[in-house]
């Protein structure tokens, strides 16, 4: 059984850029508000509703879990994501999150002019665009004139890799190394200190870490099992094609494989002959 000192040592290694600590911070609406005020450079921003780990079900397609989703007093929606690993196409990830937000939160029949503004904030441990900036604002422009065209979507990429000494960079450096106190975001610092130094806070955090690890292991096992099953189904389809089975028959027999994939497998077999 872990002692308090053992637990404290585990939690001490966490920083706000880590999913699990960011989630615990963002659960406090005032802290979420403090973070967003700095990143969006809106010192008067008021969050009226927030939720971490918001699950957006997309029937018939890939669903998504948002790290933090907020609504401000102007009814704009603000999605904030944190990412440590540069292992995916993150711009398309942001695009996908946006499409799900619009789909889920917009009522049928609403006039387009009434669509709420959406702020998509992507916080990473790496410089997404490699332009040596702490923050990037992505805008739609008219290519021929350079004029900015506003459709209510605001993409903002922030990182902990570049320190340009700005207020936003100061926050990002604290995300990367969450120790000490900073007057510009004292609520965040106090909450981090609670989870890292207060005995009750440390125990809560350790429990959250354990649950996070268990969920991650479960998700990984499920993903591995699905991938293994898919590989087996593909091999079965290849064997059936070799034995003269039609694409339609295979599609009917193995519904987890798309007809398009089976056609591609058939073409590959024909080319290899």
Q: For 221-232, what is each residue's pLDDT tens digit? A: 666 667 777 888
Is residue 249 very low, low, confident or very high in pLDDT (cuts 50, 70, 90)? confident
- Asked whether the predicted pLDDT for residue 148 surpasses 80, the reply is yes
Q: Is pLDDT larger for residue 244 or for residue 220?
A: 244
153 vs 239, more confident: 153
* Overall average pLDDT of the 51-55 stretch: 83
Q: Which residue has the higher pLDDT, 58 or 104?
A: 104
| pLDDT, average across residues 50-73 | 78
Residue 250: closest CA among 260, 240, 261: 240
Confidence band for 63, pLDDT divided at 50, 70 and 90: low
Q: Above pLDDT 90, what percent of the chain?
A: 51
Q: Report the chain's C-alpha Rg in angstroms.
A: 23
Q: How far apart are CA 41 and CA 38, in angstroms?
A: 5
Assigned token pair, 31? 């802290």
pLDDT score at 55 = 74
Half-sphere exposure of 62 (CA within 13 A, CB side): 6
Q: How confident is the model at residue 122 (pLDDT cuts 50, 70, 90)?
A: very high
CB 241 within 8 A of CB 250: yes
Residue 220 has pLDDT above 60, yes or no: no
Domain spans in the chain, listed from the N-terminal domain onward: 4-197, 225-272
Contact 14, 193 (CB under 8 A): no
Q: Is residue 58 predicted with pLDDT exceeding 70?
A: no
Say if residue 120's pLDDT is above 90. Answer: yes
pLDDT of res. 229? 79
Rounded distance between C-alpha atoms, residue 251 and residue 45, angstroms: 53
Cα separation, 77 vs 102, whole angstroms? 10
- Of 173, 161, 102, 109, nearest to 136 (Cα)? 161
Contact 83, 90 (CB under 8 A): yes
Name the residue among 1, 5, 2 with its Cα closest to residue 199. Answer: 5
Q: Does 184 score more than 70 pLDDT?
A: yes
Q: Looking at the predicted structure, is the pLDDT value of residue 9 above 90?
A: no
């Amino acid at each position: 059984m872990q002692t308090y000192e053992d637990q404290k040592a585990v939690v001490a290694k966490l920083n706000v850029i880590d999913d699990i600590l960011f989630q615990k911070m963002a659960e406090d609406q005032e802290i979420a508000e403090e973070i967003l005020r700095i990143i969006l450079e809106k010192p008067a921003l008021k969050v009226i509703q927030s939720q971490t780990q918001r699950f957006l079900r997309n029937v018939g397609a890939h669903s998504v879990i948002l790290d933090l989703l907020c609504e401000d007093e102007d009814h704009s929606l603000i999605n904030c994501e944190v990412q440590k690993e540069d292992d995916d196409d993150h711009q398309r990830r942001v695009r996908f999150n946006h499409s799900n937000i619009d789909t889920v939160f917009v009522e049928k029949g609403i006039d387009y002019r009434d669509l709420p503004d959406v702020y998509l904030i992507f916080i990473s441990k790496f410089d997404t665009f490699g332009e040596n900036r702490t923050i990037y604002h992505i805008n739609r422009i008219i290519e021929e004139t350079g004029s900015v065209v506003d459709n209510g979507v605001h993409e903002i990429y922030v990182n902990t890799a570049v320190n340009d000494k700005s207020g936003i960079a100061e926050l990002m450096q604290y995300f990367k190394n969450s120790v000490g106190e900073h007057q510009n975001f004292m609520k965040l610092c106090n909450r981090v200190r609670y989870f890292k130094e207060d005995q009750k806070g440390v125990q809560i955090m350790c429990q959250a870490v354990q649950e996070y690890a268990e969920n991650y292991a479960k998700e990984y096992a499920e993903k591995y099992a699905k991938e293994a099953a898919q590989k087996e189904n593909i091999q079965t389809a290849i064997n059936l094609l070799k034995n003269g089975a039609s694409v339609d028959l295979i599609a009917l027999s193995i519904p987890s494989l798309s007809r398009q994939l089976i056609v591609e497998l058939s073409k590959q077999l024909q080319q290899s002959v």
